Structure 1
Amino acid sequence: MVLKDADELPACCTPIPPNSLSAGGMKPIVAWFLFFQLVLGPTPLMSIGMKEAIKNFRNLNVDYPRVKFHRDFQDYCNGIMTHVRGTKKSPSCPKIHYVIHVPWNMVRTFCNKSDSFCENYSQYCTLTPDTVPLTICSLSKKQPPTSCRYNSTITNQRVYLLCSKKEDAEPMGIIGIF
């Protein structure tokens, strides 16, 4: 349907005549927008970014049960870091990467209540109450510049996690070990 005249537009779509709003005419609209932002929470765009971070964390930092890579990878970390670099679409070699070896449901419980706010990351964070099985993949110092070779350290340690919010949150990243 092609409309030629503004008189033919439905009432919802009628343009506002110029100079019909007073200087403060937009203030109520802005106030309502801010009110809905506070009441409804973060914008959908922010939620999409947070969901992506949670999905990436689960995909790249949680491996339970622990995967066994083909012997051509020469080590667990060389296999997992090939996956990490491919997922991130990054040619660079990350210097360190942590992989937790507990079920996802257990990892999620760590962010049920986070009393700490990590200013450096602008997110809530928590320290796991107990040690968890963990593999630390660290970039090998002795390697040709054309490859990424990693050393594996298998340990049990407490882990600092980034959480998506203060309570009933999802884990989004590992920021350190204790």
Structure 2
Amino acid sequence: MSRRQQTNRFYKTGFFIVLAVLIIILSVLLIGAIRLFGNLDSDSRERPTVNNESEELLSFQMTLNQTNLLLDNLLEEDIPFHFYLAEDGVYLEGEVDAVLSSIDVAMRFDPMVQEDGSLLLEADNLSAGFLSISPETALRMFNQVADLPEWIYLYPSEEHVVIDLRTIEELEPFGLRFNDVNLDEDVLDISLIQ
């Protein structure tokens, strides 16, 4: 075999190896992008209707630390994010799987008590590692990867979360409703209802 034929064979083999590596890299990136941003049209499940004229049995106040302890006990350990309250807002932090690694996502919400006793958390601030994503996209990703408790509802298109403690199965036939949330004063006013 001549030297020229060996050189041509070397270049052909090299070309096909580089082509295969590029195809593998593009496939991994495409699969990762589909996994990360796929199914963006799915929104949260609908909240069940609950009798708004429930009887108040007991009213109590909790501090931020007590509320955070309650949230930690109510949330299951396999949920990939963490809710907690601070003086400047309600935070949702967690990791979302991306193409080759995971992205640390942190969102800050402003809480607002609704007439029905649920707590509406409106997205105010978002940080997602070095990526620039919208709160809507972050909530959609959390909605896809998390098996949420029945009392947390994510609404990505409205960029808010609803916490409705009236629907906690473990408390049935009772429930909890928010009366007032004042993070500056370190007070949450909650009622036990039937």
| More strand as a share of residues | 2
Q: Which has the higher contact order (CA 8 A, sep 6+)?
A: 2
